[in-house]
Amino acid sequence: MERKDKNYNKKKISKYKDRPKKPKIVESEFIRLNRYIAASGVCSRRQADEFIQKGLVSVNGVVVTDYGTKVGKKDEVKYKGRVIKGEKTIYIIMNKPKDYITSLTDPQGRSTVMDLFKGKVKERIYPVGRLDRNTTGVLLFTNDGDLTTKLTHPKKRVKKIYVVTVDKPVTQSDMIKITEGIQLEDGFISADAIYYYNDREKNIVAVEIHSGRNRIVRRIFEHLDYSVKTLDRVEFAGLNKKNLKRGQWRFLELKEIGFIKMLAGK
C-alpha cells in the first residue's frame, strides 16, 4: 500500500539526494605520447612521432624515443625543454573583426585575435591559418595540432569563400582571367569560382579559392589594377559565421567537428 505520510516522502527524497555520486567514467587515464603532444597544439601526431624519434621529447625528466609510450595527467612532458600540457581538445569559430592581428602576440603591441578570448578560454588555442589585419570573417581556432596541419596543407584543397568589395565594377574579362589563372610574383594562381555577390553592385564579388598563400585574394585584384576596399571571409572548410557579430565566437557543435575532421581525413 502506498504511504501518504508527507514526512516520509521528504525524508526519502533527502536520502536520495545525499547518496554519493557515481564516479565519472573516462575513456582512459593514459594516452599515447604523440596524441598528448598534438593536443597541446605543438604539432600534428605525425610530426610528434618525428620529434620523439629525434629525442626532443622527455617524460618526467627522461628522454623518450618509444612511440608506444603512454602518459597521464600527472606526468611532466617537455618538448625542447619546455613543459607542454595535453589539454582537452576544443574547436572555436570566430567572426574576426577588422584591425586585429592573426597572431598569438604582437611585438608592436597591436590588438590580436587572442585578446578576444582573455579570461574566457583556459586552453591554449591557436588560429588555423591566417587573415590579415584588415580582413574580416571566419577564423577557426583549436588546440588540435593534427587537424590544423591537415586543414592548412595545400593537398587538402580546403575551400574558402571571400566577399570582395573593390573600387570599380569587376569586368567579365577579368573574372575569366581570375578563374583561368594569372601569374603573380610567387607563382601561378587561379580561383575555383568567381561571381557577382548580388545583381545590383558589380564591384562586389564572391571568390571561391583553396590556396592559403599570404594575402592571395588581395594580390589577385591588385594585380588586375583594382583597389580592395573590404575583404570578408564568409566560409572556411564548410563553416560560416551565421549569427556571429564581428568579434563574437562560439564553440563548434559536434556535427561541425565531425565534418571538418572528415574533410581533413582525420
- Residue-level pLDDT at 11: 38
* CATH code assigned to 1-86: 3.10.290.10
Domain edges within the chain: 1-86, 91-153+241-264, 159-236
Q: Is 132 a catalytic residue?
A: yes
For 159-236, the fitting CATH number among 3.40.50.2020, 1.10.3720.10, 2.120.10.30, 3.30.2350.10 is 3.30.2350.10
Mean pLDDT for the chain overall: 87
Which of 66, 115, 132, 225 does the annotation list as catalytic? 132
Partners of 232 in beta bridges: 136, 163
- Residue-level pLDDT at 44: 79
pLDDT in tens, 113-148: 999 999 999 888 999 999 999 999 999 999 888 889
Residue 236 has pLDDT above 50, yes or no: yes
- For residues 256 and 142, the answer to whether their CB atoms sit within 8 Å is no
Categorize the per-residue pLDDT at 154 as very low, low, confident or very high, splitting at 50, 70 and 90: confident
- Please provide the DSSP assignment of 107-130 as one string: TT---BGGGGGTTT--S--EESS-
Residue 38 has pLDDT above 70, yes or no: yes
For 91, the grid coordinates are 574547436
User: What is the Rg, in whole angstroms, of the alpha carbon atoms belonging to the chain?
Assistant: 25
Query: What is the widest separation between alpha-carbon atoms in the chain?
Result: 89
- For residues 191 and 209, the answer to whether their CB atoms sit within 8 Å is yes
Q: Is 240 left (phi over 0), alpha (psi -120 to 50) or beta?
A: beta
CA 254 to chain CA centroid, Å, is 14
- For residues 107 and 84, the model is more confident at 107
Residue 8 has pLDDT above 60, yes or no: no
For 22, the grid coordinates are 557515481
For 91-153+241-264, the fitting CATH number among 3.40.1390.10, 3.30.70.580, 1.20.1250.20, 3.10.129.10 is 3.30.70.580
